[in-house]
């Protein structure tokens, strides 16, 4: 490979030559040289100059650039985009770009989200709907940044982290995201096990449903062989099933539309107790999943975008954003259905009221709703299905179970795909997908099956609540990196974050970190009261805060606070970081201010 200096010199020669006979051929050579080499980084400690100089948006002499289809090991057959010199809106092109956003939206509909929706309606009526809507909008902002990073750079977030972060923080980031992926997979296992238990009317025990999930993970591999578009169609079908089933329950319950609209647009929480406050915080952890941000930046690479043309990249960003808006709107409506059903049907109801309905319907479940005049204290996915069966008949129970099953099965894709991209990106390690599934699923099943076999469903669904807390704790490890790299002009060029996006993301990061500290404060008292446990919590909390501070420090350097480079960091070479962020050696420092001035919000 030629050196960076030679490549830049050749690019300048081409510009000066204008449109002569050799300029087209030489432009193609330069373009090939500057394209990202996916997953092929020769130095694990720090990227080489050639690997860092991968910015594919070349504003000079665009008319002479030939489109080169990039070889991407993540997607053997990329979806072609209709060729058109007119960059006006086209439904034909929107259809070609449709797919990644809906796959991404599955993470907003997994069993953990359904559980959170159910708890929200049960504990706070319609009062927390505005938080659900706000969390979805925040998720849309992060997904937009994620998709833009993948389109502009041709690399997903884990690959960019591999190239930019030093080794120690890179490994720590990978471990944090793996924890989130395993947590998500555990929620899928729990949801699927409960769905099978309901569909079999209790004949399939919970541990039996957990074991069945070992086999269903390979359904994804079977479908993946038939092509990406067919896989996207299958998961679109699962989303449709969830919309129909939960929509049916919504129509059957007939919630108060006035109270629903007030809950959506009036940011209050009248009459909310501590449990409702905790649930409000949990909604954010359930809705915005950290590994989903890594996933979306990789899924957009499945489209064959002409990244050598600025207009094509801008167009791709537009269509991916439109698709993400539609997908998350659908996900929000489904979540709204679930919240409304249980806000209307179970808020401030007694066990005796539901027990009487169960007796009338011939559904006997004294464990879920004993014949007492006490208010219902706890609610979970299984009890929610029993309630619907008692209120509206067995058909409602089975329809609910089918929706939960679709939710659990669809979230298998999120964990599998995200796990593959994260492992390959952070570690530059290629694993067959079946090995990746077996590893993640084995770790997820081990604790789940023990609880299902020796405890009851309350302990199993209680694990769902804990996993939502874990998701929230891991969120800064996706939020801060995506803000860092989409704000780096040398990486994003004309598509760098604008000041408004930077401010909003920083406020979001501060808010999420504050929420996590709140979670820790309310969760610690429930732990075993022992000095060893307190020491462990303090150590983990300090490590957590220190790592987040490091990521923020790194991010601030990219935003121009260069004086922070003088702060010594023992584990990481400050010289390597400066080089990675600027993309220039110290000798070329005079050119570092010549980047593009245009930004996008």
The Cα–Cα gap between 146 and 144 comes to 5
Report residue 144's pLDDT band, with 50, 70 and 90 as the boundaries: very high
pLDDT given at position 574: 45
How far are the Cα atoms of 47, 103, 176, 580, 582 from residue 40, in angstroms, in the given order?
Answer: 10, 27, 24, 17, 21
pLDDT given at position 48: 42
**Cβ atoms of residues 565 and 558 within 8 Å:** no
The Cα–Cα gap between 421 and 413 comes to 12
Best-predicted range by mean pLDDT (315-329, 411-425, 523-537, 582-596): 315-329
Can you give the CATH number for the domain in which 557 is found? 1.20.1740.10
Report residue 339's pLDDT band, with 50, 70 and 90 as the boundaries: very high
pLDDT given at position 471: 78
Instruction: Please list the residues that pair with 375 across neighbouring strands.
Output: 350
Residue 601, pLDDT > 90, answer no
Report residue 363's pLDDT band, with 50, 70 and 90 as the boundaries: confident
Q: What is the percentage of the chain residues whose pLDDT exceeds 70?
A: 77
Averaged pLDDT, 93-116: 88
pLDDT given at position 247: 92
Q: Where are the alpha helices (DSSP H) in 200-268?
A: 206-224, 228-253, 257-265
Instruction: Tell me if residue 265 falls in helix, strand or coil.
Output: helix
Neighbours of 431 (CB within 10 A): 15
The answer as to whether 41 is a domain residue is: no
> Greater confidence, 529 or 217?
529
The answer as to whether 598 is a domain residue is: no
pLDDT tens per residue, range 290-315: 888 999 999 998 888 887 888 889 99
Report residue 146's pLDDT band, with 50, 70 and 90 as the boundaries: very high
The Cα–Cα gap between 321 and 389 comes to 39
The answer as to whether 179 is a domain residue is: yes
- Domain extent at residue 582: 67-77+93-591
Averaged pLDDT, 339-345: 91
The answer as to whether 21 is a domain residue is: no
Averaged pLDDT, 107-136: 88
The answer as to whether 47 is a domain residue is: no
Left if phi > 0, otherwise alpha if psi is -120 to 50, otherwise beta: which for 329? alpha
Lowest mean pLDDT among 30-34, 66-70, 328-332, 408-412: 30-34
Residue 19, pLDDT > 50, answer no
pLDDT tens per residue, range 450-492: 776 766 666 666 677 677 777 778 888 999 999 999 988 888 8
DSSP element (H, E) containing 292: helix 290-299
The Cα–Cα gap between 511 and 363 comes to 45
pLDDT given at position 584: 33
pLDDT given at position 229: 83
Report residue 337's pLDDT band, with 50, 70 and 90 as the boundaries: very high
Residue 27, pLDDT > 50, answer no
pLDDT given at position 57: 41
The answer as to whether 433 is a domain residue is: yes
> Greater confidence, 227 or 424?
424
pLDDT given at position 365: 66
Specify the number of domains making up the chain. Answer: 1
Q: Enter the tokens of residue 489.
A: 């002009």
Residue 201, pLDDT > 60, answer yes
| HEC readout, 539-554 | HHHHHHHHHHHHHHHH
Instruction: Tell me if residue 127 falls in helix, strand or coil.
Output: coil
Residue 36, pLDDT > 70, answer no
**Cβ atoms of residues 260 and 126 within 8 Å:** yes
Q: What is the DSSP letter of 589?
A: G
The answer as to whether 417 is a domain residue is: yes
Residue 366, pLDDT > 80, answer no
Mean per-residue pLDDT over the chain, rounded: 76
């Amino acid at each position: 490979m030629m050196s960076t200096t030679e490549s830049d010199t050749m690019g300048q020669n081409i510009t000066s030559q204008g449109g002569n006979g050799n300029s087209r051929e030489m432009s193609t050579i330069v373009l090939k040289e500057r394209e990202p080499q996916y997953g092929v980084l020769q130095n694990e400690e720090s990227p080489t100059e050639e690997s860092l100089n991968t910015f594919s948006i070349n504003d000079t002499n665009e008319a002479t650039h030939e489109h080169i289809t990039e070889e991407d090991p993540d997607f053997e057959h990329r979806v072609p985009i209709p060729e058109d010199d007119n960059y006006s809106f086209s439904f034909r092109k929107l259809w070609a770009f449709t797919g990644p956003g809906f796959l991404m939206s599955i993470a907003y509909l997994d069993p953990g989200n359904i559980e959170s929706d159910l708890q929200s309606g049960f504990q706070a009526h319609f009062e927390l709907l505005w938080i659900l809507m706000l969390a979805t909008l925040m998720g849309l902002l992060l997904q937009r940044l994620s998709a833009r990073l993948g389109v502009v750079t041709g690399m997903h977030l884990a690959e960019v982290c591999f190239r930019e972060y030093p080794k120690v923080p890179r490994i720590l980031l990978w471990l944090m995201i793996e924890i989130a992926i395993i947590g998500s997979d555990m929620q899928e296992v729990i949801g699927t096990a409960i769905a099978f238990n309901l569909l079999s009317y209790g004949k399939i025990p919970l541990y039996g449903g957990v074991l069945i999930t070992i086999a269903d993970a390979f359904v994804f591999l079977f479908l993946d062989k038939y092509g990406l578009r067919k896989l996207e169609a299958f998961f679109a079908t699962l989303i449709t099933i969830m919309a129909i089933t939960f929509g049916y329950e919504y129509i059957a319950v007939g919630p108060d539309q006035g109270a629903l609209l007030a809950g959506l647009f009036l940011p209050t929480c009248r009459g909310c107790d501590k449990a409702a406050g905790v649930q409000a915080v949990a909604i954010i952890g359930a809705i915005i999943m950290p590994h989903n941000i890594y996933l979306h930046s990789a899924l957009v690479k499945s489209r064959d975008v002409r990244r050598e043309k600025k207009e094509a990249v801008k167009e791709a960003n537009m269509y991916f954003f439109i698709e993400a808006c539609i997908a998350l709107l659908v996900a929000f409506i489904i979540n709204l259905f679930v919240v409304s059903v249980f806000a209307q049907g179970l808020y401030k109801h007694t066990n005796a009221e539901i027990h009487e309905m169960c007796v009338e319907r011939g559904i006997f479940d004294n464990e879920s709703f004993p014949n007492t005049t006490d208010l219902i204290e706890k609610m979970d996915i299984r009890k929610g299905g029993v309630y619907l069966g008692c209120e509206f008949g067995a058909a409602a129970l089975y329809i609910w179970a089918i929706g939960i099953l679709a939710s659990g099965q669809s979230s298998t894709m999120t964990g599998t795909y995200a796990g593959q991209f994260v492992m390959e990106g952070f570690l530059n390690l290629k694993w067959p997908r079946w090995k990746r599934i077996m590893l993640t699923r084995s770790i997820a099943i081990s604790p789940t099956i023990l609880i299902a076999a020796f405890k009851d469903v309350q302990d199993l669904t209680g694990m769902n609540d804990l996993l939502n807390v874990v998701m929230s704790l891991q969120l800064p490890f996706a939020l801060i990196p995506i803000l860092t790299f989409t704000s780096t002009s040398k990486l994003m060029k004309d598509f760098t974050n604008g000041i408004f996006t930077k401010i909003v993301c920083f406020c979001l990061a501060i808010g999420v970190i504050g929420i996590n500290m709140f979670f820790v404060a309310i969760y610690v008292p429930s732990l075993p009261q022992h000095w060893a446990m307190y020491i462990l919590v303090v150590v983990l909390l300090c490590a957590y805060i220190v790592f987040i501070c490091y990521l923020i420090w790194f991010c601030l350097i990219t935003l121009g606070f260069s004086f922070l480079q003088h702060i010594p960091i023992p584990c990481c070479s400050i010289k390597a970081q400066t080089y990675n962020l600027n993309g220039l050696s110290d000798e070329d420092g005079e050119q570092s201010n010549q980047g593009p001035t245009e930004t996008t919000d």
